[in-house]
Amino acid sequence: MANIKAKIRQNPNKIVAQTLKIGNVRLTDLSDVNASAASDGGVLLYNGTTNQFDVTNTVGNTNTNITGGTY
């Protein structure tokens, strides 16, 4: 996991944005991504029950609509 370092300046009422170099970060490093079933051709689908994104090769949810493109 990446190390993130920050400095707090003397004025706590002033927020200063800075660019942080955190190295290589993978999608699977995110706490709301379940990539345990990742395989070639997989896509991310949001799971409202678990409040996370799951990798799947099958889109079988009746709430999913795909519009456009050639399949």
Mean pLDDT of the chain: 81
Structural domain count of the chain: 1
Relative to beta strand 43-47, strand 52-56 is antiparallel
Say whether pLDDT at 6 is over 70: no
Question: What is the percentage of the chain residues whose pLDDT exceeds 90?
Answer: 23
pTM over 0.75: no
Asked if residue 47 is part of any domain, the answer here is yes
pLDDT over 80 at 55, yes or no: yes
The answer, yes or no, to whether residue 2 has pLDDT greater than 70, is: no
| 70: pLDDT strictly greater than 90 | no
Residue 35 belongs to domain spanning: 27-56
Q: Nearest Cα to 26, choosing from 52, 47, 55, 2?
A: 2
In a domain, 2, yes or no: no
% of residues, the chain, pLDDT over 70? 75
